[in-house]
Chain A
Amino acid sequence: MTWLARRLVTRALLREWGRTLLTLAAVSLGVAVFLSIRLANRAAVASFEQFTLGVGQGSDLVIRTEAGPLWESRLPALRPLTEWAWMRPIIEGSFARAQTMEGFQVLGLDLVGLGASANSTLPSSSEETLHRSATTGFYATLQDPVAILIPAALAAEGWSPGDLMEGFIQERAVRLRVAGILPDPPHRPKLQRNLLVMDLPAAQRLLGREGELDRVEWGLRPGGNLPHFEAQARRLLPPGLIMEPPEQRAESGRTMTAAFRFNLTILSLIALAVGAYLLFQAFDASVNRRRETWATLRALGQAPSGVMRLVLFEAALLGLLGSALGIGLGWLLAQGTVQGVSRTVNALYGASAAQRAGMPAPEAWLAVAIGTGACLIAAWIPARRAARTPPVQLLAREGHLTPTRWGWMGLAAGTALLLGTVLAYGLRPAPGVAWHAYAGSALVLLGGSLLAVALLPLLGLPGRWTRRWRLRLALRPLLRPTGRHGFAAAALAVAIGMTIGMGVMVQSFERTVLAWIGSSLRADLYVAPIGSTGAGSQHRMGADTADGIASDPAVAAADRFQILPITFRGRPTFLGAGDMGVQASRGGLILAAGGPFPGPLLALRKGGTSDPGVLVSETFSRHFGVRVGEVLDLPAPGGLRRATVRGIIADYGNERGSLLLDRPVFLAWFQDPRVASLALFLRPGESPEAFAARLRREHPGLQVRTNGALRDQVTTIFRQTFALTYALEAIGLIVAILGLGQGLTGLALARRGEIWSLRALGATQSDLTRILMLEGLGVALAGLLSGLGLGLLLARILVDVLNPQVFGWTLGFSVPWGFLGLVSLATLGAAILVLAPMARWGARLAADREVEEGA
């Protein structure tokens, strides 16, 4: 077997290096795209998990409030719990560096108590040295209200103890002093570089949150028992405090990127679907090309299973090699992807994400398994055919290319498309559940790829009547398409369909969001502390600053907006508050329910604290199944507060959903006058630019953006987010077009006799090239046309079903004709680029060996 394998498989692969390279390219690109998406995904999630896994030595339980800060004065009530577990109080905040405006996460920890939560000490030898060198550093950290400990990654950039870091916390200018370097934890992910650790009281003071904590982490003492501890904690827990396993925090990080990850998942599906088509095609071609070898082996007495093993061995070999290449390529690709992910996460959530993707061994193995597995599966049917077909038939020359039964395919295509659509639209499962949409999309995808095959004869129709011989020769094969034509068209249709589907969805999304922004961003200026980004940001400006700006003579009205993360019905969401009076008269919230604007807002204002009302975002309403008129129990520092839902507003800002209170009600409940952002409406005649310039001068810690600038920024962020999506789709498309080339190469090989006879009949090189090219373009066109239809249908399902179902976002569907045109042109252009050399090569093919060597 090995002797045979070496000669029949390895040698053949080396000899036909062109084909080998093409197959390897297909496998490695597929594996690379798949892997890079997984790695990027991992990096995105890992960066959110870093706090729980990295900074916190694994805690067992987290105590937090449902809403608002955790007042440290509530801790003594929990003191008895220290019998079973250590406690780590934590406050978080953000710092923006002055020179670069780079965001840092400030983590306030009790640096003294921190020691008590360590499970074991250092080896005694190093303990002594550390003790001696660090004593003064310890007190210098503890007794300096602006001391920070920086991660090793930052130290590697040249920061060292004693350096000063200038920047802003909230809107205040602060100067921090590097007091020490946090060593990277062994056997754990490195600490993210934009983490600053401070002593707890210093952090509280610096963040202007004396007496407040964000959460308290608990870890069992040795020999402790978690259920018992949880029971004790539950017994002692004051109202308003909740306990949750630490994973929940990471989980909320996961939901933060859910939309993004969803995007990536769909992309990896493209890679898989297109890759599968290509591989099948490649192995089919390989078996075909060498059918004589297999037939001869059979004739010489090799058992069918032996032949099958040889073919599968070739597949495994190509799979392994291709996967190995794909791992390298995927890792490179992932670096780019991670940059994209991190930019997005930064932009949308204000959280910092990993800048580099790792290459964990399990991922590498998975990639190898998938690459090799896919090859084996793709080779299975051709291998069985090689093994089972009687040798005589294998040896026969051309009886092989049986036309596909495209009539049936058309019927199947229609059925699959119909079923898929019905499935996606017909069912209405609970919010968040979307299997029907996924299954529907898969069916639509299948239908679309079958449709591409069924479309081939239609495109070939002119070939039936035309008298132009080249056109006739080029189009006739489409009238009776072979499996190879079908595969190439189907793969292309899937790739184009996915690209169009995602693209149209993204553009619909963009249009909707831009319209929403246009409507909701009406103020002249937006003011926020420097470094603020998205709902997750922890930057706030003091009430005094906000009041000072609002009372400026140039300002006609100001909307003070505040937003807090809260836990509602056990799930994380956001509670915001704005000035409904200002919003009603000058704003433009888009209402999905509750009456026309500004009715619900005025109802909120009118209800005041005696009959409090709340607006909920569409996402929130879908997640929690909340309707207008419903009364919600909202968590507040003073206990649960009741509020009636007065309206549902469109909000594409975050996928966790949000609640909106009128500011007076919020102030009464939360006693938190700080402001996350300030929307300013200027008096007529005031120049926003001039006023903005003045504000920037007076408040260097604030970022002041004009309406136009903010819109531009949002649009840029949006485009950045999806740039990556487009890049990955392009790869899918390129792979599909390579597949088209590969498919037609196989076709040319199989028809070399025909080509030879055409040459004998007097067809020139350029005639043959044109014929092959035209045929290929016909296939590309079938793929493109059915891909366009498929893509639009997919986009509709994504927009109409998946987005509302998964994120609770209602999007307006819009067809971006320009984008469709661009994809079409790009596809045809790329097809021409790939087909031209292939056709030229095909036109030169000699008939067969017996012709060359003499019968």
Chain B
Amino acid sequence: MAVLQARGVGRRFESSWVVRALDLDLVAGERIALLGPSGCGKTTFLNLLGGLDRPDEGVILLDGESLHQASPARLADLRRSRLGTVFQFFHLIPTLTAEENIELPLRMLAWPEARIRERCAELIQAVGLAHRAAAWPSELSGGEMQRVAVARALAARPAVLLADEPTGNLDRASGQAVLSLLAELTEQQGSALVMVTHSEAAAGICHRVLRMEDGRFLDGTL
């Protein structure tokens, strides 16, 4: 059963279609890489999948629920509980420490304090940053920031993790570390992963690679 389904999804800016007629089926625990040149529409597609943007045509179903028809509140709720996001530029909240950044989704979900502590300790351990728990984002290296971002995205055990060029702003070694972390953690908790990238190496950790060009999947990649 697919956790996330896209059918005939298209998105238009002004009069030109950025993406069009995209179909996707993501099953639990599956890792997919969206590979393609700049401007091919992969980030747009990712935003659509994350409910951050609405398609102009087609439907997207998360656990069978149409994102298209969900109210903004329901969308936010889905993003809290079922989706996780990792950005190229980390987007950590600069005024929260590493640990607090990781806690944030759990606090949004109003988990009990004890569970938050437990889960947070577990995650910070998992991303290997226990010693930096109290550090401000500005004090972290790029690789460390992205590891925090990964932990944050996975904190609420989302069904789907969306990652937008997670290694795009990192050096090779840090990139590798983040990639293996992504693979390892999603594997561990059974989250599916959709990763936008243009690095073949990054795509290596995925079960499937979808190549995009001009807003469409290239033939035979489905």
Note whether A and B contact each other (Cβ less than 8 A).
yes
Question: What 0/1 pattern do residues 458 to 499 of A give for CB contact below 8 A with B?
Answer: 000001000111001100110110000000000000000000
B76 x A764 contact (CB < 8 A): yes
B91 x A476 contact (CB < 8 A): no
The contact size tier of chain A is: 20 to 34
Shortest distance from the beta carbon of B175 to any chain A beta carbon, whole Å: 16
Shortest distance from the beta carbon of B33 to any chain A beta carbon, whole Å: 15
Question: Of B87, B107, B109, B164, which one neighbours A467 at CB under 8 angstroms?
Answer: B107
A761 x B41 contact (CB < 8 A): no
B43 x A854 contact (CB < 8 A): yes
A854 x B44 contact (CB < 8 A): yes
- A754 interface hit (Cβ, 8 Å): yes
- A762 interface hit (Cβ, 8 Å): yes
- A760 interface hit (Cβ, 8 Å): yes
A762 x B94 contact (CB < 8 A): no
How many residues from B make CB contacts under 8 Å with A?
44
B95 x A761 contact (CB < 8 A): no
A753 x B96 contact (CB < 8 A): no
Question: What 0/1 pattern do residues 84 to 105 of B give for CB contact below 8 A with A?
Answer: 0101110111111000100111
Question: Of A480, A764, A854, which one neighbours B72 at CB under 8 angstroms?
Answer: A764
- B50 interface hit (Cβ, 8 Å): yes
How far is A472 from B104 in the complex, measured between Cα atoms in Å?
Answer: 10
Question: Of B13, B80, B91, B165, which one neighbours A757 at CB under 8 angstroms?
Answer: B91
- A756 interface hit (Cβ, 8 Å): yes
How far is A760 from B50 in the complex, measured between Cα atoms in Å?
Answer: 8
How far is A512 from B89 in the complex, measured between Cα atoms in Å?
Answer: 63
What residues of A have a CB within 8 angstroms of the CB of B105 in the complex? 761-762
B39 x A476 contact (CB < 8 A): no
- A175 interface hit (Cβ, 8 Å): no
A754 x B13 contact (CB < 8 A): no
How far is A143 from B78 in the complex, measured between Cα atoms in Å?
Answer: 100
What residues of A have a CB within 8 angstroms of the CB of B191 in the complex? none
What residues of B have a CB within 8 angstroms of the CB of A463 in the complex? 95
A762-B77 CB under 8 A given contacts A754-B93, A853-B13:
yes
- A182 interface hit (Cβ, 8 Å): no
Shortest distance from the beta carbon of A841 to any chain B beta carbon, whole Å: 16
How far is A851 from B50 in the complex, measured between Cα atoms in Å?
Answer: 13
A762-B81 CB under 8 A given contacts A476-B96, A853-B39:
yes
B89 x A472 contact (CB < 8 A): no
B91 x A472 contact (CB < 8 A): no
- B79 interface hit (Cβ, 8 Å): yes
Question: Of A473, A764, A767, A851, which one neighbours B43 at CB under 8 angstroms?
Answer: A851
Q: Which of A757, A758, A847, A853 has the most CB of B within 10 A?
A: A757
A473 x B41 contact (CB < 8 A): no
- B168 interface hit (Cβ, 8 Å): yes
- A131 interface hit (Cβ, 8 Å): no
Shortest distance from the beta carbon of A205 to any chain B beta carbon, whole Å: 84
- A398 interface hit (Cβ, 8 Å): yes
Which residues 77-128 of A have a CB within 8 angstroms of B? none
What residues of A have a CB within 8 angstroms of the CB of B165 in the complex? 855
What residues of A have a CB within 8 angstroms of the CB of B87 in the complex? 753, 756-757, 760
A469-B108 CB under 8 A given contacts A760-B50, A853-B39, A854-B43:
yes
Q: Which of B42, B43, B95, B152 has the most CB of A within 10 A?
A: B95
Question: Of B39, B79, B96, B103, which one neighbours A760 at CB under 8 angstroms?
Answer: B79
- B52 interface hit (Cβ, 8 Å): yes
B85 x A761 contact (CB < 8 A): yes
A469-B113 CB under 8 A given contacts A479-B95, A764-B72, A855-B43:
no
Which residues 104-163 of B have a CB within 8 angstroms of A? 104-105, 107-109, 113, 138, 152
A854 x B41 contact (CB < 8 A): yes
How far is A397 from B113 in the complex, measured between Cα atoms in Å?
Answer: 34
Instruction: Using CB atoms, name the residue of chain B closest to A768.
Output: B76
Question: Of B13, B89, B108, which one neighbours A761 at CB under 8 angstroms?
Answer: B108
How far is A756 from B92 in the complex, measured between Cα atoms in Å?
Answer: 10
Shortest distance from the beta carbon of A460 to any chain B beta carbon, whole Å: 9
- A759 interface hit (Cβ, 8 Å): yes
What residues of B have a CB within 8 angstroms of the CB of A759 in the complex? 52, 76, 79
B96 x A767 contact (CB < 8 A): no
Shortest distance from the beta carbon of A805 to any chain B beta carbon, whole Å: 47
A472 x B39 contact (CB < 8 A): no
Shortest distance from the beta carbon of B68 to any chain A beta carbon, whole Å: 17
What residues of B have a CB within 8 angstroms of the CB of A467 in the complex? 107, 113
How far is A764 from B73 in the complex, measured between Cα atoms in Å?
Answer: 6
Instruction: Using CB atoms, name the residue of chain A closest to B18.
Output: A854
Instruction: Using CB atoms, name the residue of chain B closest to A775.
Output: B95
Seed contacts A397-B89, A855-B168; 5 additional CB < 8 Å A-B pairs: A469-B103, A480-B95, A753-B87, A762-B78, A855-B38
26 sampled A-B residue pairs with Cβ under 8 A: A398-B94, A399-B138, A401-B94, A467-B113, A469-B103, A469-B104, A469-B108, A473-B104, A476-B96, A479-B95, A480-B95, A758-B93, A760-B52, A760-B83, A760-B85, A762-B80, A762-B81, A762-B105, A762-B109, A763-B108, A764-B73, A850-B43, A851-B47, A853-B18, A854-B38, A854-B42
Query: Considering the complex of A and B, which 5 residue pairs feature the smallest CB-CB distances, nearest first?
Result: A762-B80, A757-B91, A476-B95, A762-B79, A469-B107
